[in-house]
Homo-oligomer: A and B are copies of this chain.
Amino acid sequence: MEHAKKLFLEKVAYNLRVSSLISTSKAGSGHPTSCLSAADIMSALFFYAMRYDPQDHKNPNNDRFILSKGHAAPVLYAVYKELGVLTEEDLLGLRNFDSVLEGHPTPRFAYVEAATGSLGQGLSIAVGMSYAAKMDKRDYTTYVLLGDMETTEGSVWEAAEVAAFYKLDNLIGIIDVNRLGQSAPTMHEHNLAGYVQKFQAFGWHTITVNGHNIEDLCTSFDEAKNVFEKPVIIIAETIKGYGINFAANKEGFHGKAFKGEEEDRALEQLYQNFSSIADAYSDYSWLSNVPVKDTLHVIPPILLPEPTYVKGHMLATRKAYGQVLSILGSKEESVVSLDAEVKNSTYAELFEKKHKAQFVQCFIAEQNMVSMGVGMSGLGKIPFISTFACFFTRAYDQVRMAAISKAPLRLVGSHAGVSIGQDGPSQMGLEDIALMRALPNSIVLYPADAVSTYKLVALMANYNAGISYLRTTRMDTPVMYDNDEPFTIGGCNIVRQSRHGDSYACVVAAGVTLFESLKAYEVLKREGVTISVIDLYSIKPLAQDILIRMAKKSGQKVITVEDHYLEGGLGEAVTYALRNTETEIRCLAVKKMPRSGTPQRLMEYEEIDANAIIKAVHGF
């Protein structure tokens, strides 16, 4: 490498160090030592290896970068200062309320592709991006910088095996092996062979390098780009706090900003250790390696024809989901389906049969699957991610981070509730409504029949403001709606009421319990008691006005009934919506630890069946 170029890259690295120090000191918090170990890698990456246009970060042909070790955010922001995207003043706003430069990266800063900061998720996001590149035959490379300590997260190994299985040779990871975690040394410390063995066993090409030698780093990136059929991991030996004598390679300096006299000392030591670089002149004029211009295809709203279900026909909503997903896939090739090896249970297999190239088998690794969806959604895909409702609990941290990323993931959880029956509690989704409601900008939908499933899935396809969640049922249920029945996000359907609209009580249900409510309606009607029944297919947002009106027309007596735990579920949501209406509310929900048994026996046991509803109505 020519001297001027090398010097330029070293100067950039030096600048990244100084900026990381100054910005965290100004903020009074942050992780400067974790930035110092990564500075050379970041310089070689952004100013040597990557092909991208800093003036057009939305170009889908740009190489992508994910900072998996999100706590090193200041060094990323410092890169963008060197690129002329941010000013020094911007950097000094780090961690301030009015700044987009958050403590850990979020897409509020537009150059951040996905929020990180919960460790071990970056590689999965990058796998999603690499997979999307293969799907779209784009030749960008996805780079991801990992911390060494975060490789203990299982999600890293989920990502590693999926990437190798799909031969993602457009994916290059770098591990910043700085030996020290937050409170303890890592398992492998500076034994790079430990990482080499693991990644090789998982099918990766490995490269080891001194992470503070710019020239060697560049050579490593060159090698990495010439590997075929395998993803590559560059294992870079580094020093945490490199350049600051009193902190370098020492415990006790994680997540500590240098303050006052300590900051001065740190800057001085940096200057002394890099004086030959800091003061030298390089006449190298860097130009970014810009890819072919392009923009992501803007997907217009996807419109589906009306469904053609036959009223009374028995069909599980999970199967209707597979059917409509398949139709969506025909309408729009950006629709992709991600499966965690349960496609014959969720009926994602109906999509796979028709759209093999748009279907991604993620194996039993839900965490990686969800984060792959984040990566793919950023590149114009419309991911529908399905597994058993209960197994989204496995990936809830990833779902939470996806919400912070504002990634429009479509999550579909099948086998909701005790009504799955004999498989027992481990397979029952009983917390999913609570989990999915507690996400900013999320919507939670729960259809009872095939028509509503069809229409709600179509709405999800066009919902781009955050996470949308659909809950499906294992057992067959009868088609109850006309094919032209309208459904809206935030809507509900009044499926039973008296002719004049008044009733003795109002039952609010969704999914399987809607049919129990209809049974209860018939029995009570024979007794001369008229109840109204609401299908609350949209649990978040929720049709508060209609609920208030219906409560009023029902003598302020409302019963909610759901196949879900009480806490955070439909009942609490309705109770909250009706909180200031002086309504008497009975919430029927799963309140006892469930077990194996027939669906009907379990619904009886949990008191969410027709008899329990009748009893509750009588109880008013």
Contact = CB atoms under 8 A, between A and B. Distances in A.
A15 B505 CA distance: 56
Q: Most B CB atoms within 10 A — which of A102, A115, A583? A: A102
A158 B149 contact: no
Contact of A602 (B97, B116, B343, B344): B97
Q: State the copy count for this chain.
A: 2
Interface in A81-129: 95-97, 99, 101-104, 106, 108, 115-120
A345 B182 contact: yes
Q: Most B CB atoms within 10 A — which of A117, A421, A572? A: A572
A121 to B, nearest CB: 9
Interface residues of A, number: 110
Interface string A425-452: 1110011001101111100000000000
A476 interface: no
A154 B157 contact: yes
Contact of A540 (B154, B162, B567): B567
Given A201-B201, A391-B118, A422-B29, A184 B565 contact: no
Given A149-B364, A187-B161, A401-B426, A438 B27 contact: no
A609 to B, nearest CB: 14
Interface stretch (A221-229, A485-493, A589-597): A589-597
A169 interface: no
A181 interface: yes
Interface string A14-27: 00000000000001
B152 A161 contact: yes
B342 A182 contact: yes
A579 B585 contact: yes
A591 B30 CA distance: 26
Contact of A106 (B70, B424, B567, B573): B424
A138 B326 CA distance: 56
Interface stretch (A242-250, A259-267, A392-400, A527-535): A392-400
Interface string A470-492: 00000000000000000000000
Nearest to A344: B183
B154 A367 contact: yes
A182 B388 CA distance: 13
B596 A585 contact: no
A194 B598 CA distance: 40
A364 B150 contact: yes
Contacts of A403: 593
A424 B104 contact: yes
Interface of A: 27-30, 70, 95-97, 99, 101-104, 106, 108, 115-120, 149-150, 152-158, 161-162, 165, 181-184, 186-187, 197-198, 200-202, 339, 341-345, 349, 361, 363-365, 367-368, 390-391, 393-394, 396-397, 400-401, 403-404, 421-427, 430-431, 434-435, 437-441, 540, 565-569, 571-573, 575-576, 579-580, 582-585, 587, 592-593, 595-598, 601-602, 605
Given A152-B363, A435-B438, 15 more contacts: A96-B597, A149-B363, A152-B364, A153-B394, A154-B154, A154-B155, A154-B157, A154-B367, A182-B342, A182-B344, A183-B343, A184-B363, A440-B592, A571-B576, A579-B587
29 contacts: A27-B422, A29-B422, A29-B423, A70-B426, A97-B602, A97-B605, A102-B596, A103-B427, A104-B423, A104-B424, A104-B426, A106-B426, A108-B595, A117-B424, A154-B154, A154-B368, A157-B157, A183-B339, A183-B349, A184-B363, A186-B363, A393-B400, A430-B438, A435-B435, A438-B565, A567-B573, A575-B576, A579-B583, A579-B585
